Amino acid sequence: MPQGVLVFAEQREGIVKKASLEATSEGCRIANQLGEELSVLLIGSSIKHLPPKLFPYGAHKVYLADHSMLEQYSSEGYSEISYKLITERDPAIVLFPATAMGRDIAPRLAARLKVGLASDCTVLRLNEEKRLECQRPVYSGKAFALVQLTSTPQMATLRPNVFSAEELKEPPQGEVIELSVELKPENIRAKVVDLIKPEQEVPDLTEAIVIVSGGRGMKSGESFELLEALASTLQGAVGASRAAVDAGWVDHQIQVGQTGKVVSPQLYIACGISGAIQHLAGMSSSKFIIAINKDPEAPIFKAADFGIVGDLFKVLPCLTEALQKLSKA
């Protein structure tokens, strides 16, 4: 009989992603309601130091797949190990962070296991029959669908920055179980041959607590320095709308929206962004939204908690200066 909750925890370069800690914490909450154990799967190379990072978030067991061929993520290698563990351990629920890695491996496993998958979930709960119910945005964030999972294992991906990562006051005595990895070079047909990093380190927007974004109203790439100054003051990251990316002002890596990244920061500041539905689909789940736009009829104001109607080139320097003074006070 299927039992327990399994969380796929993503790590990059020997660091467990914040979204994975959130998924682990949420998995712990669900497991406690079921009265069952929470297990976590970690895959990578030279990562034997990572399991203790997961115990404070409720992991009873950490399954560790440590192999030199797993240093870089590969769909085939990671999904093969995950599939083998799921079929052997038979968990009732399997959760993934809705990161680039999670969004790739989860549907692969769901198809292979012939089960359903609820993607990009913002709320998880158990119904009266102890089955998982998932709330997820649909129609570009205009509405929410309540999905009931009837197949087993019940699988879902969790939107980053929506679920809280909470360390337990009395965490379980964790156990590390090392998996036997049997991989041959021919098993992994698609391989990462090189990682080209940007000259300047770009913060991961999906994990940022504060995001300051600019759109067509920024008028040029040089104007994004105003956003960088404000983001730096708030210890946040800089984002952009598709219009700014298409104009060549900034890199696609920081695009927020339906064709960019979906973010859920505590604070989202939209500067010179009109508020097209494609952009709203990527940031509407932000806890607080502040819009700065000279057009009082801009659609972004309908989604904003607070709005400033004015010239952003005058508003941003004043706002940054005021916040810098507050931080020093």
Residue ranges per domain, the chain?
A: 5-187, 205-328
Predicted confidence (pLDDT) at residue 60 exceeds the cutoff of 90:
yes
What pLDDT was estimated at residue 199?
Answer: 65
Average pLDDT value for the chain: 91
The pLDDT-based confidence of 189 (bands split at 50, 70, 90) is confident
Residue pair 115/90 in contact by the 8 Å Cβ criterion? no
Residue pair 222/229 in contact by the 8 Å Cβ criterion? no
The H-assigned helical ranges of the chain are 18-34, 75-89, 100-113, 224-233, 242-246, 277-283, 300-303, 312-328
The pLDDT-based confidence of 135 (bands split at 50, 70, 90) is very high
Whole-number Å distance between alpha carbons of 284 and 304: 9
Predicted confidence (pLDDT) at residue 197 exceeds the cutoff of 80:
no
How do residues 219-274 score in pLDDT, each as one tens digit?
999 999 999 999 999 999 999 999 999 999 999 989 999 889 999 999 999 999 99
| Fold: same for 5-187 and 205-328 | yes
- Nearest Cα to 243, choosing from 268, 273, 277? 273
What pLDDT was estimated at residue 172?
Answer: 85
- Average pLDDT (83-101) is 94
Position of tokens 């061929």? Answer: 69
Angle between helices 100-113 and 75-89 (to 10 degrees): 50
Residue pair 215/269 in contact by the 8 Å Cβ criterion? no
Q: Which two tokens stand for residue 234?
A: 């708030």
- DSSP conformational letter for 286: -
189 or 219: which carries more pLDDT confidence?
A: 219
Whole-number Å distance between alpha carbons of 302 and 276: 11
For domain 5-187, the CATH class is: alpha beta
Fold adopted by 205-328 = Rossmann fold (3.40.50)
Residue pair 45/153 in contact by the 8 Å Cβ criterion? no
What pLDDT was estimated at residue 143?
Answer: 85
pTM value is 0.85
